[in-house]
């Protein structure tokens, strides 16, 4: 099985990293029969809480066990407690109590991840990037897709995800604040590309593989202008070699949809919770084009 490993990153918060990772993953599993693993690396544990009920999540990751925190804690403390099979959550539990979408797996996060950054500097530099790789490399081959839902920063956990990924997906809100951050992010990833290639031979070439626009509204021309600015910036960054030529602005743009927000309270991806809403339709089309972009280039 050829696994595609992708990191959903942006150091700006609230741009839709979790929503994209969770809903694209669920759509791939439910409607395209793909086996997908979502790895939650954010101490806020939002993708975990989107796909698990709070009581189920609290019990599963009690004291940071059976979570991505344990991976980093093991590395810091020199222990080997993390057990992938025990940690991974298979499928989504609906309100009937039965599991749906068994092809969708989640490696949940716990709030203890907050402590990781304080202690991770105790490890030597090349080791720091490879913690996730060491813990997960034997398991990734079982999946068609592995998504890392990264925290809104570019610290060690995010670097680990970038190191292990084939590409980065950048969720983006069409406004100037996102635009200004995007170039910094693209340059940072390009810089890491050089660093990682040095330390790991030429095995990984992290790059920006695609940009997803969320929170889109069609009223007026505010968002059209903002998208135009983003497209022009992408072209400029490609011209200067900061982005690769195949970087694409994935379509359609995800429109603001209250049902998507509501689906978080139901702990279900929107494709299960409200398949008829515009949010589910946008994610459905986006996932289709995502597949075309990453696997079946036209």
Residues that bind other proteins (CB under 8 A): 30-33, 90-91, 97-99, 102, 176, 179-180, 183, 220-221, 224-229, 231-233, 235-236, 251-252, 271, 275-277, 280-281, 283-285, 288-289, 291-292, 298
Name the token pair of 172. 């983006």
Least Cβ distance, residue 37 to other proteins (angstroms): 18
Helices (H), the chain: 17-31, 46-51, 54-60, 68-77, 84-87, 116-119, 125-129, 131-140, 156-164, 176-199, 222-239, 258-265, 270-273, 278-294
Least Cβ distance, residue 296 to other proteins (angstroms): 9
How far is it, in rounded angstroms, from Cα 106 to Cα 218?
Answer: 34
Q: φ and ψ at 42, to 5 degrees?
A: -100, 125
Would you say 33 or 202 has its CB closer to other proteins? 33
Would you say 127 or 180 has its CB closer to other proteins? 180
Place of tokens 């991806």: 269
Would you say 78 or 97 has its CB closer to other proteins? 97
Neighbours of 47 (CB within 10 A): 28
CB burial string 246-273: b at 16+ within 10 A, e below: ebbebebbbbebebbeebbebbbbbbbb
Least Cβ distance, residue 216 to other proteins (angstroms): 13
Least Cβ distance, residue 236 to other proteins (angstroms): 6
Would you say 75 or 230 has its CB closer to other proteins? 230
Least Cβ distance, residue 190 to other proteins (angstroms): 14
Would you say 75 or 211 has its CB closer to other proteins? 211
């Amino acid at each position: 099985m050829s696994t595609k490993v992708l990191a959903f990153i942006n150091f700006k918060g609230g741009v839709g990293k979790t929503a994209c990772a969770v809903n694209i993953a669920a759509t791939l599993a439910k409607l395209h029969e793909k086996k997908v693993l979502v790895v939650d690396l954010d101490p806020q544990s939002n993708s975990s809480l989107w796909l698990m009920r709070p009581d189920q999540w609290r019990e599963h990751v009690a004291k940071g066990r059976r979570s991505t925190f344990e991976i980093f804690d093991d590395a810091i403390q020199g222990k080997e407690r993390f057990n992938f099979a025990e940690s991974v959550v298979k499928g989504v539990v609906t309100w009937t109590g039965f599991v749906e979408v068994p092809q969708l797996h989640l490696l949940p996060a716990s709030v203890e991840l907050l402590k990781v950054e304080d202690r991770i500097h105790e490890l030597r530099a090349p080791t720091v990037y490879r913690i996730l790789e060491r813990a997960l490399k034997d398991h990734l081959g079982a999946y068609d897709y592995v998504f890392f839902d990264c925290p809104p920063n570019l610290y060690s956990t995010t670097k680990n995800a970038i190191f292990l990924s084939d590409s980065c997906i950048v969720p983006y809100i069409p406004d100037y604040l996102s635009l200004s951050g995007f170039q910094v992010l693209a340059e940072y990833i390009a810089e890491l590309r050089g660093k990682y290639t040095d330390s790991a031979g030429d095995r990984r070439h992290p790059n920006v593989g695609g940009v997803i626009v969320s929170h889109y509204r069609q009223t007026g021309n505010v968002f059209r202008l903002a998208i135009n600015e983003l497209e022009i910036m992408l072209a400029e960054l490609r011209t200067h070699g900061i982005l690769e030529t195949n970087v694409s602005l994935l379509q359609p743009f995800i429109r603001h949809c209250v049902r998507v927000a509501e689906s978080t309270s139901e702990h279900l991806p929107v494709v299960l919770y409200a398949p008829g809403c515009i949010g589910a339709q946008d994610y459905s089309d986006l996932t289709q084009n995502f597949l075309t972009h990453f696997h079946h280039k036209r």
